[in-house]
Structure 1
Amino acid sequence: MSNSPLFQPVKWADFTLKNRMVLAPMTRGRAGPDRVPNKIMGDYYVQRAGGGLIITEATSISEEALGWVDSPGIWTEEMVEGWKSVTDRVHVADSRIVLQLWHCGRASHSDFHNGDLPLSASAVKLEGDQIHTPKGKKEYEVPQPMTHEDIRRTVEDFKQAAINAKAAGFDGIEVHAANGYLINQFLDARSNQRDDEYGGSIENRFRFLAEVMNAVLEIFPAAQVGVRLSPNGVFNDMGHDGYRETFTYVAQQLNKLKIGYLHVMDGLAFGFHERGEPMSLGEFRALFDGLLIGNCGYDKETAEKRIADGDGDMIAFGRPWITNPDLPYRYEHDVELHAYDDPSQWYGGGAEGYSDYDAFREESGKEELEKLSE
């Protein structure tokens, strides 16, 4: 067994994960217009099953939650069956897989919703690049503020998504509260300008996430539930002056729920809102007792150091794992990586640029593999 901290087993829920490498959730858009997971998606995840834990691409909990062309869903029986074909294959490949539950909120467009405006915490437009819709690139719109009935319905949608994830054979779920999507829009004081019990104070801005957590924890044991946060992130027009106090409080409250893991995008590879000093993984270590996953811009050396220093338990990798499906093998054996600087085919299409990257075993032949394994 390797001496690297990355390749030591770790306990999560009732599972012993074979290493501490996590496949980060990445939005890929391969499910097609029907949003049903398919064979090439299964191929993609099986190819990356060398990791201890797989977090799926962001998966919409309902039609209202949509905001990305051809991304998968989890609200119909066909989607459940499609995902089950993926989880069955991943389990045979000896890895564990959780479903990331997603609602885009204002990071969407009326083209996804039959002309209805997307929902958000408040009527605050996302300022940023245009959005790709089923009808082409469009400007973002001013979203519709969610009514109390909208909020109740959406919480129920999260709960039903958790029920469907369990039926599809997932080992757990991750609630997506990062990257400027709906839950993050409630947490952020710039996108949330409500004057009711869901806005204003940190406690009120956390309320929506708290209700979502209470709902999904009725379905999965707390140990099999994770949450993703992006305290430093600027993606989708996020970032407010009280971010440190907000995310400190959020982490403390999630810790009280004894959830299985907290997935923190502490790295700055997606940009930084520059409203103070970045929050570090070590800060969250002091706030959260469960498994702590770092993410965003890590390589092998920085990941090993973070785990060795005790700041985190696992590290999630994204972009290098796209073009290197056997990334754990390459890291463990110091094999050179394929370049991962051309995103032109990453976010939509078919197998090309998705599940067609070569693994080192296929390139090297038996003799070289045996030499590396000595």
Structure 2
Amino acid sequence: MSALTRSRSVPTNIPNDINLEYYTQRARGGAGLITTEGTMICQQGTEWQNAPGIWNQDQIDAWKRITDAVHAEGGLIFSQLWHLGRVSHPDAPEQKASGMPVYGPSSIAARGGKFRFLPGQPGYVTPVAVDDPRVIIDLYRQAAINAKEAGFDGVELHAANGYLVHQFLDSTSNKRTDAYGGSIENRARFGLEILKELVSVWGSKRVAVRLSPCGGYNDMGMPLQENIDTFQYFISQADDLDLGYICLVRYIPAFDPKIDGQPRATKHDVLKSYRPCIKKSPLFLNGGLTPDEADQLLAAKEIDAAVFGVLWIGHPDLAKRIEHGIPMDAKLDPKTFYGGGPQMPYEEQKKGYTDYPAARL
């Protein structure tokens, strides 16, 4: 089960009883490995209202209830460590509460953007360039330590979808002239140094990374050859760490917004382009997979695991449905994907979250 931003940690950033129910349902439904929704490494650096964090003791204790419940159902759970970088907003509640500016690798605003909980369409702001990236790398390390205390089985670095690690990697958002910008090796340095810190805490096989090489979302994407060269280098270097897995997200039309009238993504075949770079770490694939397609890719040994996202939203027993050939029949309401906000009564937060029924086996 892939990370799925659901924004139900109301009224704060601390996981609650319905988060507990949600993850328990899916562990019971056969999700052998669950990756949590993006979990904030610090209060500064979030767009999403009511996304959970893992920077303080209350959050650690709350996550421990969830990891214990997942383990009781026979599942495994990794924490996805997340920082939004330049696509946060200074008026986002957690960002505002942090008293910190919006950070990015360089002072370059992402184009486009809208915020579900801010009036109008304010768009993205010009970020403050990170002065010393090691300060943020240390926050990732502390988050990994906290995740271990919370009982997780490992951590996944969110390096996809135009968030902070991806921003450092992409030459359109990273114009630095220090050791973290310019060449491919320099732009890859930030993410690779984070991975090394995570490995120092967890050991290599309990650390993973998620990448979306096609870009698009949050104004990401380089010219095709530069894009391929950049990701081939990063993936090869990450693979040398002998990680628990490398998860590649293939091209998804929904993550290819039109900016200035043109699609933003650098569309290409991620398996063909990057499979040869991965020799030590298992390769996971995510992005609109069907169960039949996953079976074919696994049988052909093109991937080591199939990762499903949206299908898990409406089918808390997805793995068991696949195993027994039961149809995927949930009628999803996209309005409930990202929660209703703190103004919605607590019981109503369950709508489209924990109220999808399991099938009768």
Give yes or no for the alignment of 1:195 onto 2:177.
Answer: yes
Report deviation, 1:210. 1.7
> Helix, strand or coil: the match of 1:48?
helix
Q: Is the 8 A contact 1:61 1:158 kept in 2?
A: yes
Give 1:38 shift.
1.1
Deviation at residue 340 of structure 1 after TM alignment:
5.0
Q: Deviations over 1:190-218 (max 9, x none)?
A: 01111221111100001111221122122
Contact 1:102 1:175 in 2 (8 A): yes
State the identity as a percent.
Answer: 40
Task: Give the match for residue 265 of structure 1.
Answer: 249
Contact 1:233–1:270, Cα closer than 8 Å, also in 2: no
Separation of aligned partners in 2, 1:145 and 1:54: 34
Describe the SS at the equivalent of 1:79. helix
Q: Does 1:86 align with 2:66?
A: yes
Moved more, 267-276 or 213-222: 267-276
Counterpart in the other structure of 1:127: 111
Q: Give the partner amino acid of 1:207.
A: R
1:263 alignment partner, SS class: strand
Whether the 8 Å contact between 1:104 and 1:181 is mirrored in structure 2 is yes
Q: Residue 108 of structure 1 corresponds to which residue in structure 2?
A: 88
Structure 1 residue 176: deviation in Å? 0.4
For the structure 1 residues 82 and 268, does the alpha-carbon distance in structure 2 shift closer, same or farther, using more than 3 Å as the test?
Answer: same
Q: Deviations over 1:219-261 (max 9, x none)?
A: 1010000000000121111111111011100110001111110
Structure 2 residues not aligned, in runs of 5+: 257-262, 341-348
Q: Is the 8 A contact 1:263 1:294 kept in 2?
A: yes
In 2, Cα distance between equivalents of 1:131 and 1:274: 19
Alignment TM-score, normalising by the size of structure 1 = 0.86
Q: Which runs of 5+ in 1 are unaligned?
A: 1-22, 362-368, 370-374
Take 2:323 and 2:163, find their aligned partners in 1: how far apart are those partners? 34
Residues paired across the two proteins, number:
338
TM-score normalised according to structure 2 size: 0.89
Q: Is the 8 A contact 2:103 2:128 kept in 1?
A: yes
Distance 2:231 2:116 in 1: 30
Aligned to 2:359: 360
Correspondence for 1:312? 303
Deviation at 1:129, TM superposition (A): 2.9
Distance, in Å, in 1 between the alignment partners of 2:88 and 2:266 is 29
One-letter amino acid of the structure 2 residue matched with residue 300 of structure 1: P
Asked whether the 8 Å contact 1:69–1:134 carries over to 2, the reply is no
Deviation at 1:116, TM superposition (A): 4.5
Residue equivalent to 2:260? none
- State which of 32, 43, 48 in structure 2 corresponds to 1:68: 48
Deviation at residue 281 of structure 1 after TM alignment: 2.1
1:239 partnered with 2:221: yes
Match of 2:345 in 1: none
